[in-house]
Structure 1
Amino acid sequence: MEPVVGSKLTFLSAWFCPFAQRTWIVLNEKLVDFQLAEVALKDPKTGLWHQLENKPDWFVRLNPLGKVPVLAHKDASGTVRSVYESLICNEYLEECHPRLAMLPSDPVARAHARIIIDRFNSKFVPVFYRFLIRQEAAGQEECAGQLRSELAWLDSQVHERGPYFAGQEFSLVDAAIIPWFTRMPVLQHYRSFHLPDKLTRLAGWAQRAARRQSVLDSETVPPGAEDYSAALLQHYSRYADASANSTSARDFK
């Protein structure tokens, strides 16, 4: 159903999407007053994703890519304006709601935060999906090795005075990364992969970040599911058997 977009910020999301969860976490951290609109990206009968040409016109007008998250509002002139792509949405929120800052004030530290986000997004995220999609043992082992390498790098980036990547304060870095760590049980379930024991700093970060109220409040249980973890396992089963037809499945194959 098309949401009514007014002057109050509308957040278009899908419960299973880690990209949308990034932005939901930032909205929660910044105490933004928003209207949540859950977008039906999948066919409820087949479980397959709607392709762009089958997505509602109103949704494609807000995001021509047909993906979540989307932030939309009506400006003073009555024009509906929208922002999309998770990391861009988060930077937009940082600019619009600077009082509860989620980037360091120091320019070098701020740049370093963006470096961590960029590497995670360009290296870890694609391999996460590829690891699930690939069916052959050699391909899975290659992905496992790449993930271990990226996890080791992330472990080295957690601030030594912690508990978060930027130090004492939860930042855009943490918000960009934690959705994939709440999905690590998916890799353990389908690919017998877990966080290496030696990465104690990263493990401690993941436990602390996952317990933040902003993260917990972004985890919604869909109708008919027992709990969030069980729902995620069911959702990612199509990636694990290579039958997923989502944008991520196509982009990261």
Structure 2
Amino acid sequence: MSDAHLILVSHHLCPYVQRAAIALAEKGVPFERRTIDLSAKPDWFLAISPLGKVPLLVVNQADGTQAVLFESAVICEYLEETQPGSPLHPADPLKRAQHRGWMEFGSSILSDLWGFETARDAAAYEAKRSALIDKFRRVEAELGAGPFFAGETFSLVDAVFAPIFRYFDVFDTIASTGIFDGLSRTAQWRAALTERRSVREAVGGDYGDRLRTFLKHHDAWLLKLSA
């Protein structure tokens, strides 16, 4: 393992990794990224990851010891509390708690999104598509003038939703899902996040190809809609 102060253990497609990478970039904190293959997890990774999942943030401390943080929300909160740079949470405790709630809501969208992208038949696809439409309608009702979730200030909620929208940047090249139809504020938010440097650089240039390969591997119904 490197002696860099912060090491983000990653996977090419993981949206939870992207949250941490975005937060690190927004804070302007130097870090090393170490990407692993989750289908062949190395022993060193299994030894330090209690859940066998990414992301991990390895913190090399001044006394020579290492601390390992797991779970993206925990990592993002640690970065917010310890690193310089622009705040990514509101100062007001009530608003901060509300933001944390919407971060969890974003995680629930990712759960439905997994079912959506791995659906192998029309019924499963439509069930998850409907669930995503319902959830994004709730998001639409919460958004204001933008460009970000809380207006002019980029926050951890934006870091959570940016990887979600990135999926659809690829899906839209395959077939129309209709999930964002009529959701103008959500569409504007999505566009603003797509242009954000921290968001763009949170994945490699081959992200789209890797996601398409993932869809083919899972015999995704979405691919059949483009036939």
Indicate whether the TM-score tops 0.5: yes
Q: State the match for 2:199 in structure 1.
A: 215
Q: Which amino acid aligns with 2:110?
A: V
For residues 184-216 of structure 1, the C-alpha deviation after alignment (integer angstroms, 9 at most, x for no partner) is 144446664133331000000000111101111
Shift of 1:77: 2.8
1:60 counterpart (46, 52, 57): 46
User: Which consecutive residues of structure 2, in runs of 5 or more, have no partner in the other structure?
Assistant: 222-227
- The percent of aligned pairs where both chains have the same amino acid is 33
CA distance in 2, matches of 1:191, 1:132: 12
Q: State the match for 1:196 in structure 2.
A: 180
Q: What does 1:164-175 correspond to in 2, within 5 Å?
A: 164-175=148-159
Q: 1:230 to 1:99 in 2, by over 3 A?
A: closer
CA distance in 2, matches of 1:241, 1:232: 11
For residues 15-68 of structure 1, the C-alpha deviation after alignment (integer angstroms, 9 at most, x for no partner) is 221111111011100001111112122xxxxxxx23xxxx22211222122221
1:37 paired with 2:34, answer yes
Q: Secondary structure at the match of 2:154?
A: coil
Q: Which amino acid aligns with 2:46?
A: V
Shift of 1:154: 1.0
1:74 paired with 2:71, answer no
Q: 1:26 to 1:7 in 2, by over 3 A?
A: same
Q: Secondary structure at the match of 2:218?
A: helix
For residues 60-94 of structure 1, the C-alpha deviation after alignment (integer angstroms, 9 at most, x for no partner) is 22212222111102223322111011111111111
Q: State the match for 2:164 in structure 1.
A: 180
Q: Secondary structure at the match of 1:24?
A: helix
Q: Which amino acid aligns with 1:80?
A: Q
CA distance in 1, matches of 2:176, 2:6: 41
Q: State the match for 2:114 in structure 1.
A: 129
1:151 paired with 2:136, answer yes
CA distance in 1, matches of 2:51, 2:198: 27
Shift of 1:110: 0.8
Contact 1:94-1:102 at 8 Å conserved across structures: yes
Q: 1:127 to 1:190 in 2, by over 3 A?
A: farther
Instruction: Identify the range of structure 1 (66-75 vs 202-211) with the bigger mean alpha-carbon deviation.
Output: 66-75
- Taking structure 1 as the reference length, the TM-score comes to 0.80
CA distance in 1, matches of 2:31, 2:4: 10
Q: Secondary structure at the match of 1:37?
A: strand
The count of residues paired between Structure 1 and Structure 2 equals: 221
Q: Which amino acid aligns with 1:87?
A: A
CA distance in 1, matches of 2:178, 2:165: 10
- Taking structure 2 as the reference length, the TM-score comes to 0.89
CA distance in 2, matches of 1:74, 1:118: 29
CA distance in 2, matches of 1:38, 1:102: 25
Shift of 1:8: 1.3
1:232 counterpart (211, 218, 223): 211
Q: Secondary structure at the match of 1:112?
A: helix
CA distance in 2, matches of 1:30, 1:12: 18
CA distance in 2, matches of 1:15, 1:111: 30
Shift of 1:141: 1.4
Shift of 1:240: 4.1
Shift of 1:98: 5.0
Contact 1:87-1:176 at 8 Å conserved across structures: no
For residues 73-124 of structure 1, the C-alpha deviation after alignment (integer angstroms, 9 at most, x for no partner) is 22233221110111111111111115421011111111111111112212x1
